[in-house]
Structure 1
Amino acid sequence: MITLDCPMPQLDFDVITLGHGSGGILTNQLLESGVFDLLKNPLLDEHHDGAMFEWSGRTAFSTDSYVISPIFFPGGNIGELAVNGTVNDLAMCGAVPKYLSLSFILEEGLTMKEFWELLVSIRRAAEKAGVSIVTGDTKVVERGKGDKIFINTSGLGNIHPQAHISTKNVRAGDKIIVSGSIATHGIAIMSVREGLEFETTLTSDSAPLNHTVKALLDEFGADIHLLKDPTRGGVASVLNEVARDSRLGVNLFQQPIPVLEEVRGACELLGLDPLYVANEGVFMAFVPAEKAEEIVQKLRTLEYGQDAAIIGEVTTEHPKQVVLHSRIGGKRVVNMLVGEQLPRIC
């Protein structure tokens, strides 16, 4: 038994549950229970999708792990998702992704046909994103000790010279833009879950967003105050994180939020709120009010921004809270996701 010179803090839980990986309240409780304090440093304190620092120029570094089930789903697979996910985390830092690492944990019994198909998808995704996979690692665990395959990717990229992305830049009056229809990825996964199948033609929105983000930064630069991709925990959890960290409030308007009709119908059938469902090809931008419409129009000319819309604004009212203004004129507080809404979604 290792003797620690840092005593473990008093916690409200004794064991890790699936909910601690949801991206919502339990994830934040886990990280804030001592993890952030124990590993504290100025880069980690930003609580962003990747670290941004000086190293041969301004650099962004990010890492993520992928445990999705099933590993093949409509519109993609875990291999493609692993590349796009880390590319997008770097893009949210305002970086141009360049190099990725790739590590596999394979379960005994995974077929070579499945593994090869994943590798081919990884190569195609890397080529589309314009990144090189330069290092990696492979481990195999006994049958029953994994779930076919887990993947970790880390990435490095140079930050765009005009990018200044930080929660500290968010100001009252900023408009909140979403680049496309939300909740598509999560519902596409649910459509092939055992016992939950329902008829749908939906495919995952997994995509590399770096080229789209670069086009925005080329034209608007520092007017892009903050970028976030609403993966685990969805739009609601991201907005709550920004409200908490900026100490400002968020007004979210239901009417303009883009949601495909198939997604809306599936969410109603399953009792899910699209605001909490994971996305993999959508990002959110916090921008000055006077630039918001121009940025939306630019996004609509780009590959992954055709359904872009202004869905909210930052306010000094109700600090640290997100308030949804419904289609029928009502208001309600939108809290961070509690527990695990959709297990193994990314």
Structure 2
Amino acid sequence: MTRTLLDRKPGESSEAKPPTQWLDRMRDKHITMAHGSGGKAMRELIERLFVEAFDNPLLAAMEDQAVVPLEGLRQQGTKLAFTTDSYVVNPLFFPGGSIGELAVHGTINDLAVSGATPLFLSCGMILEEGLSIDTLGQVVSRMREAAALAGVSIVTGDTKVVERGAADKLFVNTAGIGIIQRDVAISARRACPGDVVITNGNIGDHGVAILLARNELALESTVESDTQPLHDLVRLMLEVCPDIHCLRDATRGGVATVLNEFAAASQVAIHLVEAAIPVRESVRGACEILGLDPLYLANEGKLVAIVPREQADSIVDAMRTHPAGRDSAIIGEVKETPNGAVLMATAFGGLRVVDTLVGDQLPRIC
């Protein structure tokens, strides 16, 4: 019997087609306004690039929507998770990834932190007139590979073209649908005094990687983005502890912003230990030179969880068996006071308030 997109098990990759000669078959070498006109040029772009790259039965139908049988969804879970995000990162390609992987991983992770298994993504692209077709092809190829490795399918999309100078080469919007397979109740409002704070590894890698990739600073340091899908790691965590209280991926605003959201929503205090927070030495060094705080730097493959204390060690042990969680650590605890605040015991023995920033330390980071 032929397997459908709904038959895959959680974490199982879909089969990606080997690279094809997409670009050789394109007559144009740069995006023109005709590629957004709805005519032959647009159809050629969609059929020869997007449909061929993201090849799957739902997309191949070439309708204005992807039609998903409900029966298959009901067999996988009881609740639907739905999210959307947009990506405007500059530059488009950076050490460890590109806007393509970022768009796929970011939306997958927004689903994952609800406890959902990601299944389907949409892809909307805003293209600037003059964008190289070769550059677009590379981004699409990166998206195809990231989706295949994560076991999700890009099943519908949209393309718009704007005049030269009206955008910055390429913007991507992705929406995602996933299924919550068990009766989880993850919420920012569930942090309780006595709970423990966990993260899955070194923070700040993505923010520093983007900063260095812009070539605006003469720093000799190699830092790669941590962009990666987290749904399989979350699945492992839920197997150990189905009652995870709070869970978020720490993207814009970093770990500090996520924890402030938890503290405010749950009306508790979160106390961190600076020495326990994993930060790569190259990232720490760059932050010291530039006056940045790694707690506020964007991540694209890091989560923050608040879990019951009695299960924290078991969760961390399980996380460390997964490639995305090898450096997992307990970094703090939840207390009653001061209500709604995040505090950190510093390496010098002091106590520092970790507040929410008014703006972002770095623009165009994701």
TM range (shorter): 0.7 to 0.9
Q: Residue in 2 aligned with 1:3? A: none
The Cα of 1:293 is off from its aligned counterpart by: 1.1
SS of the aligned residue for 2:194 comes to coil
| 1:268 Cα offset (Å) | 0.6
Summarize the alignment of residues 266-305 of structure 1 with structure 2, pairs less than 5 Å apart: 266-305=286-325
| Partners of 1:333 and 1:142 in 2: CA distance | 46
- Structure 1 distance, partners of 2:216, 2:156, is 39
2:112, 2:118 within 8 Å by CA — same for their partners in 1?
Answer: yes
Aligned partner of 1:182 in structure 2 is: 203
2:326 maps to which residue? 306
Q: 2:248 aligns with which of 228, 235, 249?
A: 228
Could you tell me how far apart the structure 1 residues matched to 2:130 and 2:339 are? 51
TM value normalised by structure 1: 0.82
Aligned residue type for 2:277: I
State whether structure 2 residue 156 is matched by structure 1 residue 102: no
Q: How far apart, CA to CA, are the structure 1 residues paired with 2:104 and 2:213?
A: 22
Question: Which is further off, 191-200 or 290-299?
Answer: 191-200
Please say if 1:191 is aligned against 2:224: no
Partner of 2:79: 58
Tell me whether 1:203 sits opposite 2:258 in the alignment: no
Distance 1:225 1:117 in 2: 39
Q: Which runs of 5+ in 2 are unaligned?
A: 1-72
**Which stretch shifts more, 122-131 or 211-220?**
211-220
Q: Does 1:216 align with 2:234?
A: no
SS in structure 1 at match of 2:314 = helix
Question: Could you say which residue in structure 2 is the equivalent of 1:70?
Answer: 91
Indicate how the Cα distance of structure 1 residues 147 and 197 shifts in structure 2: closer, same or farther if over 3 A, else same: farther
Instruction: Judge conservation of contact 2:255–2:295 (CA < 8 Å) in 1.
Output: yes
For normalisation by structure 2, the TM-score amounts to 0.78
* SS in structure 2 at match of 1:304: helix
CA distance in 1, matches of 2:164, 2:215: 21
Query: Cα RMSD over matched residues?
Result: 1.1
1:342 match = 362
Q: Paired residue for 2:103, among 82, 104, 122?
A: 82
Paired position in structure 1 for 2:139: 118
The answer to whether the 8 A contact 1:162-1:218 is kept is: no
Report the Cα offset of residue 197 of structure 1: 4.2
Secondary structure at the residue paired with 1:169?
Answer: coil
Q: Decide whether the 8 Å contact of 2:240 with 2:318 is kept in 1.
A: no
**Matched positions, count:** 291
SS in 1 for 2:343: strand
User: 2:295 is aligned with what amino acid?
Assistant: L
Q: How does 1:136-147 map to 2 (within 5 A)?
A: 136-147=157-168
Q: Take 2:190 and 2:138, find their aligned partners in 1: how far apart are those partners?
A: 42
1:275-308 Cα distance to aligned partner (Å, 9 max, x none)? 0000000101110111111111111111100010
Per-residue CA deviation, residues 176-196 of structure 1 (Å, 9 max, x unaligned), is: 000110000000011111422
Name the aligned partner's letter for residue 304 of structure 1: A
Q: Deviations over 1:69-126 (max 9, x none)?
A: 0010001000110000000000011100000000000111110111000011000000
Q: Does 1:319 align with 2:344?
A: no
- The letter of the residue matching 2:335 is T
Corresponding residue of 2:36: none
Please say which of residues 115-124 and 160-169 is displaced more in the overlay.
160-169
1:161 is aligned, of 182, 194, 216, to 182
Shift in Å at residue 228 of structure 1? 0.7
- Per the alignment, residue 133 of structure 1 pairs with 154
Structure 2 distance, partners of 1:114, 1:197, is 26
| Residue 265 of structure 1: aligned partner | 285
SS at match of 1:168: coil
Q: Say if 2:118 and 2:177, in contact at 8 Å, map to a contact too.
A: yes
Give CA-to-partner distance per residue, 1:118-140, whole Å, 9 cap, x none: 01100000011110111000001
In the alignment, structure 1 segments of 5+ residues that lack a partner are 1-54
8 Å contact kept, 2:345–2:352? yes
Q: CA deviation at 1:255?
A: 0.5
Identity of aligned residues (%): 53
- Pick one of 95, 114, 119 that aligns with 1:93: 114
TM-fit CA distance, 1:221: 1.0
Structure 1 residue 340, shift from structure 2 partner? 2.6
